[in-house]
Amino acid sequence: MIRSRLLLLATSACALALTACSGGGGNASAPAGDTVSVGVLQSLTGTMAISEITVKNAEMLAIEEINAAGGVMGKQINALVEDGASDPSTFAQKASKLIESDGVSTVFGGWTSASRKAMLPVFERTKNLLWYPVQFEGNECSPNIMYSGAQPNQQALPALEWAVAQGHKSFFLVGSDYVYPRTANLILKKHIEKGGMQVLGEAYVPLGGTDFSGVIAKIAQAKPAMIINTLNGDSNVAFFKQLQAAGINTKTMPVMSFSIGEQEAQAMGAGLVEGSYAAWNYFQSLPSDANSKFIAAYKAKFGKDAAITDPMVHGYLDVYAWKAAVEKAKSFDPQAVRKAAASLGGFDTPMGKVSFAANQSLVQKAYIGKLKADGQFEIIADSGKDIAPEPYDALAFPGKTCKL
C-alpha cells in the first residue's frame, strides 16, 4: 500500500525532474569544437506531417551532403530535429528550446504561416535566424527570417497574368479556409478588378473538408472562364472528383491551382487532375543538371517513387544558402549570416540561379505547369525574368513596404 503510494509520488516527482533534465546545454551561438548545431523544425506528427516530413528529408539531405563534403568552415553540422506537431504553440516552444537550450546557430523549418507567425517572436527575441521554405501570403518582413518560398507576386500574380494572356476574363476563387487562400484571393481580386475582369464567386471550405456539393453548385451557376484553386491537401481530391461527377469539364473550365504539387498529384491519381494547371517556382520536370542530380540523390535516399516538390527544393537550397552565407561572413553569428545572405548574389540550386534580395526574400522565376497523366508537370510557360520579391502587394496594401 505504501509502496504504491510512493509510486505515485515518484511519478509526480519525475514530472518535475524530467523538466529539469530535458534542458541543459549551453547558449553558445559561436560553436566550439568540431561541430555546429542547427535546428530542423517541421511537423512530424499531426495534419501537416504528410507535407512537412518531405521538407525535413530535403533539409537533412542537404546537411548530409555538406557534411560529406567537409562541413561548414571545417565544422560538421549537427542537425537537431524537433517535431512541431502541426501546432503553432509547439513550434514556438520547440524553436525556443532549440535556440535557448540547445544553442543552435540557425533553424530550418516551418510550413504553415501559423507556425511561422508563432515562431517569429522567438526568433526576434533571441536574435536568431529562421529559414522558411514555403510560398506564403506575404505581409510579413522580419529581419530574423529568410523567406525562400514565393511571395504572392512570385506565384499567384504571374499565374493570373498567364491566365489573362490566355484570354480568360472571369474567375471563381475556391480555397481552404485559412490565411493563405483568403489573402492570396484578396490580392488576386484587386488585380482582377483593376484589369476590368470579373470575380464571379469566392468560396472556402474548412481545412480537410471533403464536401464540395454547395461550392460546385455555385460554380456551375456562375460559369467562370477559370477556377483559381487554393485548396490544401486532401480537399483537392474531393473537389476534382465532385467537379467531374457534376459534369464540369476541366478542359472547358480550366483550374489553376497554387497548392497542388507533384506529391499531391501523385496521391490524387493524375487522371483526375490531368490537364489542370499549377504555378510554382520549381517543378520536378525542370530540365537542368543540378536538378537531375538533386532528384537522383533524394530518390537514392528516400525511395524511387518519391515526388519532388517546390517546398522541398526551397528547404534544400536554404541549407546551402546558409552555408554560403556563413562562409562569406566567416561567422556563425545569425546577424552576420543574414547580412551576408542578402548580399550573396546568385547561387546555383536545383531550380537554377537564385539570390536573396535585401528584404531577405528569394529572387526567383515563376513557372506554369500543366499536369500530365504520369503525375508530372509539363512546363508550358515561365516568367522569363527573375522576379524580385514584394512582401506587400502595392495594389492591395498601398503604402506598406518592407524596411530592414
Partner 1 sequence: MPDLSRLDPLKPFLPWLLLALGLVAPFALSAYDLNLLARFMAMGILALGLVLIWGHGGILSLGQGVFFGLGGYAIALHMKLADLPSGEIPDFMVWSGRDSLPFWWTPFSSPAFTIAAILIVPTLVGALFSWAVFHRRVGGTYFALITQALALAFSTLIISRQDVTGGFNGLTDFYSVFGFGLASPGTGSGLYWVTLAVLCVAFVALRWLLASRFGILLRAARDGENRVRFLGYSPTPFKVVAFAIAAMLAGVGGALFTLHAGVVSPALIGVVPSIEMVVWVAIGGRYSLAGAIVGALLVNLARDAVSSAFPELWLYLMGALFIFVVTLLPRGLAGLVKRKAA
Partner 2 sequence: MDALFLNQLFNGASLASLYLLAALGLALSFGLMRVINMAHGEMLMLGGYLAWMTLLVVPGALGIILAIPVAFVGAAAMGGLIQSTLIRRLSARPLDTLLATWGVSLILQQGARDLFGAVGVEVRAPEWLTGSFVVFGVTLPSARLFIILIAALVLGGLALLLLKTRIGLLVRAVNQDRMMASASGIDVKRVDFTIFCLGSGVAGLAGVMLALLGPVTPNVGQSYIIPAFLVVVMGGLGSIVGTTASAIILGLFAALAQIFVDVSVAQMLLLVFVILFIQVRPQGVIAVKTRQLDA
Residue 220 Cβ vs partner 2, minimum distance, rounded to whole Å: 6
Residues found in the chain:
404
| All three cell numbers of 122 | 522567438
- Applying CB under 8 A, which of residues 108, 162, 204, 258 lies at the interface with partner 1? 204
Contact by Cβ (8 Å): 359, 141 = yes
Q: Does 302 bind partner 2 (CB under 8 A)?
A: no
Contact by Cβ (8 Å): 261, 278 = yes
Interface with partner 1 in residues 20-59 (CB under 8 A): 20, 22-24, 44-45, 49
B/e letters for 348-369, b = 16+ CB within 10 Å, e = fewer, are ebbbbebbbbebbbbbbbbbbb
Contact by Cβ (8 Å): 369, 360 = no
* Partner whose footprint covers residue 12, from partner 1, partner 2, none (CB < 5 to 8 Å by kind): partner 1
* Partner whose footprint covers residue 211, from partner 1, partner 2, none (CB < 5 to 8 Å by kind): partner 2
Q: Does 285 bind partner 2 (CB under 8 A)?
A: no
- Applying CB under 8 A, which of residues 195, 206, 214, 346 lies at the interface with partner 1? 206
Scanning 81-89, 241-249, 274-282, 326-334 for contacts with partner 1 by CB under 8 A, the matching segment is 81-89
* Partner whose footprint covers residue 263, from partner 1, partner 2, none (CB < 5 to 8 Å by kind): partner 2
| Integer angstrom CA distances of residue 149 from 134, 135, 266, 331, 354 | 4, 4, 22, 25, 12
The residues, any chain, with a CB within 8 Å of residue 231's CB and separated by 6 or more, are 174, 175, 176, 181, 205, 239, 257, 259
Interface with partner 2 in residues 165-224 (CB under 8 A): 177, 203-206, 208-211, 213-215, 217-218, 220-221
Contact by Cβ (8 Å): 173, 189 = yes
Strand duo 347-349 + 352-356: pairing: antiparallel
Contact by Cβ (8 Å): 380, 140 = no
Q: Does 178 bind partner 1 (CB under 8 A)?
A: yes
> For residues 275, 279, 285 and 291, what is the CA-based torsion angle, rounded to 10 degrees?
-170
Q: Does 269 bind partner 2 (CB under 8 A)?
A: yes
Scanning 64-72, 252-260, 262-270, 312-320 for contacts with partner 2 by CB under 8 A, the matching segment is 262-270
Scanning 67-75, 204-212, 265-273, 353-361 for contacts with partner 1 by CB under 8 A, the matching segment is 204-212
Contact by Cβ (8 Å): 88, 111 = no
Q: Does 339 bind partner 1 (CB under 8 A)?
A: no
Q: Does 238 bind partner 2 (CB under 8 A)?
A: yes
Residue 124 Cβ vs partner 1, minimum distance, rounded to whole Å: 8
* Partner whose footprint covers residue 213, from partner 2, partner 1, none (CB < 5 to 8 Å by kind): partner 2
Contact by Cβ (8 Å): 125, 156 = no
* Partner whose footprint covers residue 301, from partner 2, partner 1, none (CB < 5 to 8 Å by kind): none
Strand duo 226-230 + 377-382: pairing: unpaired
- Applying CB under 8 A, which of residues 81, 200, 203, 297 lies at the interface with partner 1? 81
Query: From CA 146, how far away is CA 324, in angstroms rounded?
Result: 14
Query: From CA 132, how far away is CA 109, in angstroms rounded?
Result: 6
Q: Does 186 bind partner 1 (CB under 8 A)?
A: yes
Q: Does 245 bind partner 2 (CB under 8 A)?
A: yes
Query: From CA 140, how far away is CA 121, in angstroms rounded?
Result: 12
* Residues that bind partner 1 in the complex, under the rule CB under 8 A: 1-2, 4-9, 11-16, 18-20, 22-24, 44-45, 49, 81-83, 85-89, 92-94, 96-97, 100-101, 112-114, 117-118, 120-122, 125, 137-140, 177-179, 182-183, 186, 204, 206-207, 397, 400
* Residues that bind partner 2 in the complex, under the rule CB under 8 A: 47, 49-50, 177, 203-206, 208-211, 213-215, 217-218, 220-221, 234, 237-238, 241-242, 244-247, 263, 266-269, 271-272
